[in-house]
Structure 1
Amino acid sequence: MKQTMLAASLSLALSTLLAPAAASAATRPAPARATAAADARFQAIYKAEWQWRVKQRMAWDEDEPRDAGAALPKIDARTQAARLGEWEGVLRRLDAIRPADLSPPERINYAVYRAQIAALVAAQRFREYEQPVNADSAFWSDITYVARQPLKTADEYRGYLAQLADLPRYFDEELDNMRAGLARGFTPPQVTLAGRDAPLVAMADAQRPEDTVWYLPFKTMPATISMDEQARLRAQGIALIGSAVKPAYAKALRFMRDEYVPHARTTLAAESLPDGKAYYQSKIAEYTTTDLTAAQIHAIGLAEMAKIRAEMQQTMAQAGFKGDLPAFLAFLRSDPRFYAKTPDELLKDAAWIAKKFDGKADQYFGYLPRRRFAIQPVPADQAPYYTSARGGPGIYLVNTYNLPARALYSLPALTLHESAPGHAFQMPIALEQTDVPPFRRAYISAYGEGWALYCERLGSEMGMYETPYETFGMLSYQAWRAARLVVDTGIHAMGWTRAQAQAYMHDNTALSDHEIETEVDRYISWPGQALSYYLGEMAIVESRRKAEAALGDRFDIRAFHDTVLQLGSVPLPVLRARIDTFIAEGGKSPYATGK
């Protein structure tokens, strides 16, 4: 398996998308009638598959409220094999369509969709469902989205009660899958699992059902439900949390402690897994949307780290620091002025930074999302092993655990990345695009993380960094993401140890030791994902420079940003092609032209 399915899909779909239309018969545009027919065939494929995916409870239509009463998804081995067969069939039907026959909008959809389906096929072939836990997340935490859905009617509450009753079956299927992975050595490295059972412990040890996340829907119930009915539903919920949910968590906790963790693999590299070289290359293709090799990415990381290090030296001089970089990093990690005293102080500083951006937004963006976001702390049971923050539609989570590890000088860059104009800004804009099929609203890491990291750099232009220390915090974060190119490939393809990866991060970023340990374990247990950020940012920066050079005085930063964001998540070659069109059209905003 020298080339992964996803890399192959990009090679096919994107080369056709980007090739000159008259280059050959294979790429020459079809007559209008043939184009309409090809569009119809392609649309029939993706519409049918999407509806099947919704029925499988693997996706939902954002335009409609999620069915709170729908059953929990089936995830057993037979269901997983059936999913592989479905997606392989979709891939064959896609290959029967010549992308050059499609209309320009559907040609973009084809490139996005085929890459998405190929990634799903690859994940099923490597049986990734047998490892539903890593250092960053686990199925027992992910499934709590069910408890966080708004419920409006008594029927929806009864559906939720049915889900609580079904939870033991769902957990058992997850544990069966994990046993199958354990039997063939397909697990996260043992060292990355220490303490990750904390949410299981919290749930299993909860004294009262009312103290658990699963009770959330019953805390405030709609006034349209009678008080008597509320009392009955609430009592049933309490009973099911006690009789079904808590025992399921306790069973998973015993499994983790007695079976899984003691026998998890002790090697680190993804290449040490079954068919590991092909598996790691498939993750590179999925998370970078390129066919770059591990060696190529490692070299890019080293080169970019050297550039950032030179910027760091300049910023140190601006701060008036006389020592070398290691001394400056030690100073930043230890001086109490750079750290919040209380969780509220950290949260309030994050809110202040977010509001500062609001005052500058219309200078850099023509289209602003309608959805706002809340700023909340990471849940206490997840915080010790959670990343520093995470953002998305409607939410900016800030980790207030271990405050001496949460530097204030890095908070502006972190906030721009996770809230606005990063994830909590970009994702809602993608969801507000009404003229794209629902699969286009899926998240492509190279695009989404690349955009968020670009926003950190953009903060310099926007005047968001008010001191050399805050500028250095941004540069440290740039170095953090460039270091990921070195560390991820070092661990998974070049035999690096955990200590070696931690040392590299310690010597090249201002991250605290706690953050470094948490982050390195995340990269070890989640191969390839860390490669998304810097390669994605590079693609956006290079596209912007190309547009600035081509358009000169006609370049409008707001139109450029609107064009990038209006696309939603796409593979990086599709983004580059869209900016070429943006240049050819004279740099107009997609909202001004109606495109």
Structure 2
Amino acid sequence: MTTETTEQTAPGRPHTAIDAVADAFTDTLIRLNPSFATELGLPGHETEYQDFSPAGLKEFAVAAREALAALKGLEPADDVDAVTLDAMRERLGLQLELHESGWDLAELNNIASPAQEIRAIFDLMPMDTAAQWDHIAGRGHNVPAALDGYIVSLRSARDDGRVAAARQVKIVIEQTTRHAAEDGFFAKLAANAKTADGQLPPDVQSRLDAGAAAARTAYSRLAGFLESELLPVAPEKDAVGRERYSLASRAFLGATVDLEETYAWGVQELDRLIAEQERVAGEIRPGATVEEAKEVLNNDPARQLKGTDALRAWMQELSDKAVADLAGVHFDIPDVMKTLECRIAPTDEGGIYYTGPSDDFSRPGRMWWSVPPGEDTFTTWAETTTVYHEGVPGHHLQVATATYRRELLNKWRRNVCWTSGHGEGWALYAEKLMQELGYLKDPGDHMGMLDMQRMRAARVVFDIGVHLELEVPERWGSGIWTPEKGYGFLKQNLAISEGQLNFEFTRYLGWPGQAPSYKVGQRLWEQIRAELESRPGFDLKAFHTKALNIGSVGLDTLKRALLE
């Protein structure tokens, strides 16, 4: 780490001993995971990858142990330090539990495993100059070593009896085969390369072509390994069981919850949301069912978008308006945070996601829409709340605020600590907040928000129910949950295309505990706000400012920071 990228906090708050430990740990993470430097927009690691082998993963565990040891005996100098100490002990301690479980070596699913991450980092690499394309070529040449290390980890986990379910192995075989294809991601990347002011120099294009070819070959090798060595021993059963699920739930929430109570709450919340949808359906057309109301909305030309260009432009316009309206009224939004780019993702695997700004905001926060093949028509009523979720006041405000507050937060708090239940819970809170503030008065947009909330409640029921093999609620069937019963249940409750449904179904089965963290996180956020509202002098804007300035910590840490 160069001295230029090692920040000191502003004179108003001295850099403490606990900050020093957190910053040193962050520097170590950047050294161990160069892709993280790319995410932050830091120079010097543009072509590198982390070591995905067992030895490389062990280094992360060693770093966590050393950081925890360095924190022993340190006393917080202020409230900021107290939160850092609480958060690091919780996050790093859990990281070690996950490592000791051995499942980090077996990580494989359709959305968030090295198979996707090794490719996805290219999406964040700048592509304006010949030098930047040369970096991309260099990273392409390093894809084989990264994937080979990953294969060693998967093989080691297999030998210890830890293998992802066959469903996940099969879908990743499909994904990696597409990446290796002549018309796959890497081939297109090289074929379509150009600088901002013209074509690439021949020598850079040659290195880029070779790097793309190396990456394609490596992904083909991974697909072959999965097909020949992993799939034959992969379990057919998708459910991971209580022990593994409990650990995953804690990891995604940063809180310990009663899984049975949370499951029962999810069933009740789903019923409540369906009842609210039935009421709103009557506003769209008197006497209409929810399905009939949606049909009315889908057939309304004023609510339709044709093509991805129109989708991107609409996302950008809605996002810009939210920023302009909310800044200074309900949120503190510095000028540097007011730029949020909306883009169509270069992949077609499904999903909508946000990537944060670079450390210096030279690369702004971005909202990405990965459109499945064949989808070309979009409805605004169904997606308005998604723009608020991913952008403002959702993920963009949350992530960019933490990045911006360098005078208050150390590097680990700003750039490293991310807890799904905190982050996704905030984004769902943001959806509901926009309704509260009057931005979803249109019955169609309100129906869209309820659809999204209904989906998240259904995921609580599905995810906990299937992985713990609980009883199916009477409204939705009988017996014990199975993936097949769960698919039918999701089809009734997730208002998404078949391609998106298949993607989401596979995601929930392969990423246990993550999907419920959205709605459970929202529940915990709203419980904290309700407790504060019951106290004298509550101010909504001040609550938002204080909460966002804490950064994305575990939800138990957040609760202690805001309530105690």
| TM-score of Structure 1 vs Structure 2, range by shorter chain | 0.7 to 0.9
Pairing partner for 1:436 from 389, 405, 409: 409
Q: Secondary structure at 1:529's aligned position in 2? A: coil
* Contact 2:53–2:151 (8 Å) recurs in 1: no
Alpha-carbon distance change, 187 to 405 in structure 1, aligned in 2, over 3 angstroms: farther
Are 2:68 and 1:91 equivalent residues in the alignment? Answer: yes
1:143 is matched with: 118
CA distance in 1, matches of 2:85, 2:156: 35
Instruction: Output the aligned Cα RMSD.
Output: 3.4
Within 5 Å, give how 1:323-402 maps onto structure 2: 323-325=288-290, 327-328=291-292, 331=295, 335=299, 340-362=305-327, 363-368=329-334, 370-371=336-337, 372-379=339-346, 382-383=347-348, 385-390=349-354, 392-393=356-357, 394-401=365-372, 402=374
CA distance in 2, matches of 1:134, 1:405: 28
User: Deviations for 1:182-228, whole angstroms, at most 9, x for unmatched residues?
Assistant: 34443332224444445533442226998433677x621789xxx9x
Pairing partner for 1:312 from 257, 269, 277: 277
CA shift, 1:298, in A, is 0.8
CA distance in 2, matches of 1:91, 1:336: 57
Are 2:234 and 1:264 equivalent residues in the alignment? Answer: yes
1:80 is matched with: 57
Q: What is the number of residues matched between the two proteins?
A: 525
Q: Which AA in structure 1 matches 2:215?
A: V
Are 2:399 and 1:427 equivalent residues in the alignment? Answer: yes
1:469 is matched with: 444
1:563 is matched with: 546
Are 2:535 and 1:535 equivalent residues in the alignment? Answer: no
1:287 is matched with: 252
Q: Secondary structure at 1:266's aligned position in 2? A: coil
Q: Secondary structure at 1:375's aligned position in 2? A: strand
* Contact 2:83–2:561 (8 Å) recurs in 1: no
* Contact 1:294–1:493 (8 Å) recurs in 2: no
Q: Which AA in structure 2 matches 1:399?
A: S
CA distance in 1, matches of 2:352, 2:122: 24
* Contact 1:329–1:510 (8 Å) recurs in 2: no
CA distance in 1, matches of 2:83, 2:405: 15
CA distance in 1, matches of 2:307, 2:20: 55
2:502 is matched with: 517
CA shift, 1:451, in A, is 1.0
Unpaired runs of 5+ residues, structure 2, are 1-13, 358-364, 471-480
Unpaired runs of 5+ residues, structure 1, are 1-35, 272-276, 582-595
1:128 is matched with: 103
Q: Which moved more, 1:162-171 or 1:482-491?
A: 162-171
Alpha-carbon distance change, 255 to 108 in structure 1, aligned in 2, over 3 angstroms: same
Pairing partner for 1:248 from 214, 218, 235: 218
Within 5 Å, give how 1:14-93 maps onto structure 2: 40=17, 42-57=18-33, 59-60=36-37, 65-69=42-46, 71-93=48-70
User: Deviations for 1:359-389, whole angstroms, at most 9, x for unmatched residues?
Assistant: 421332133462422212132xx42x42245
* Contact 1:357–1:464 (8 Å) recurs in 2: no
User: Deviations for 1:533-557, whole angstroms, at most 9, x for unmatched residues?
Assistant: 1122122222333333323xx5433
Q: Which AA in structure 1 matches 2:511?
A: W
CA shift, 1:390, in A, is 4.4
* Contact 1:450–1:537 (8 Å) recurs in 2: yes
CA distance in 1, matches of 2:38, 2:342: 26
TM-score (norm 1): 0.78
User: Deviations for 1:297-335, whole angstroms, at most 9, x for unmatched residues?
Assistant: 21221222233233223212222342545x447747975
1:7 is matched with: none
CA distance in 2, matches of 1:511, 1:158: 40
2:382 is matched with: 410
* Contact 1:473–1:510 (8 Å) recurs in 2: no
CA distance in 2, matches of 1:404, 1:237: 31
1:24 is matched with: none
Pairing partner for 1:235 from 194, 206, 212: 206
* Contact 1:70–1:159 (8 Å) recurs in 2: yes
CA distance in 2, matches of 1:316, 1:511: 18
Q: Secondary structure at 1:128's aligned position in 2? A: coil
User: Deviations for 1:93-119, whole angstroms, at most 9, x for unmatched residues?
Assistant: 54x3376x6532211110111122113
| Larger radius of gyration between Structure 1 and Structure 2 | 1
1:173 is matched with: 149
CA shift, 1:525, in A, is 0.3
Alpha-carbon distance change, 147 to 230 in structure 1, aligned in 2, over 3 angstroms: farther
2:8 is matched with: none
Q: Secondary structure at 1:270's aligned position in 2? A: coil
Q: Secondary structure at 2:368's aligned position in 1? A: strand
Q: Which AA in structure 2 matches 1:436?
A: L
Alpha-carbon distance change, 335 to 390 in structure 1, aligned in 2, over 3 angstroms: farther
Alpha-carbon distance change, 135 to 521 in structure 1, aligned in 2, over 3 angstroms: same
Q: Secondary structure at 1:376's aligned position in 2? A: strand
CA shift, 1:576, in A, is 2.8
Pairing partner for 2:180 from 204, 217, 220: 204
* Contact 1:339–1:403 (8 Å) recurs in 2: no
TM-score (norm 2): 0.82
* Contact 2:139–2:211 (8 Å) recurs in 1: no
CA shift, 1:512, in A, is 4.0
